[in-house]
Homo-oligomer: A and B are copies of this chain.
Amino acid sequence: MVVSREQIAAAALRHLNQSPTASMEEIARAAGVSRATLHRHFATRDELVSALGWRAMEYWERAQKQAGVAEAIESGDPRTLEAALHALVIGQAEIADEHGFTLTANSLLDDAALMRRIDELEELELKLFAACQRAGILRADLPVRWISNTLYGLLVAAVESLRRGDVARRDLSRLLLETFLRGTA
């Protein structure tokens, strides 16, 4: 059967999300493909992991674009900022699966170009959070980097909740946004 590079990448990510140290043999099996074929698409393990990293970045960037983050920051308008913030969080929830493994894969730390890209995307989000603080949409007494890490931590919780079946997929966006903004009390 023909399995595209994209399909293999998706299957690899799915499997690595649950078993981050899986061997190429395991990954190949999970993708329904032989180890030889896996190596034809991704010469080395590092290349595969790196590709997954870039793939996750694309999803992330797309979520930021669709939420209109950059424009909202530029406008400075409270209602625009709030809309972008909500759209971003919901967008993150929808692509949570794409981040589970890549955000904690420490072999990616060597890929300088990728790290720069991550920093850029993170930087933009920090600017959004800071603008929201100035506009009174987010609490100003929290360090902006803590807010960013909070969202990241809640994404981890979201992925875990899906994995364990604690939460239905369709409820996830609402739960994430609600909890992020208003907490649990």
Contacts A166-B143, A179-B142, A184-B142 given; does A153 touch B149 at CB 8 Å: no
**In the complex, what's the smallest C-beta–C-beta distance from A154 to chain B, in angstroms?**
5
Report the nearest B residue to A18, measured CB to CB.
Answer: B106
**In the complex, what's the smallest C-beta–C-beta distance from A78 to chain B, in angstroms?**
12
Contacts A104-B104, A106-B20, A155-B153 given; does A161 touch B146 at CB 8 Å: yes
Chain A 149-181, CB within 8 Å of chain B: the 1/0 string?
110111111101100101100010001001111
Asked if residues B160 and A152 are in contact (CB atoms below 8 Å), the reply is yes
Q: How many copies does the complex hold?
A: 2
Asked if residues B149 and A166 are in contact (CB atoms below 8 Å), the reply is yes
Contacts A139-B184, A175-B146 given; does A19 touch B106 at CB 8 Å: yes
Interface residues of A (CB under 8 A from B): 18-21, 104, 106, 137-139, 142-143, 145-147, 149-150, 152-158, 160-161, 164, 166-167, 171, 175, 178-185
Q: Can you report 13 residue pairs joining A to B where beta carbons are below 8 Å apart?
A: A20-B106, A21-B106, A137-B185, A146-B166, A146-B175, A149-B157, A149-B160, A150-B154, A153-B156, A153-B158, A153-B160, A154-B157, A179-B183
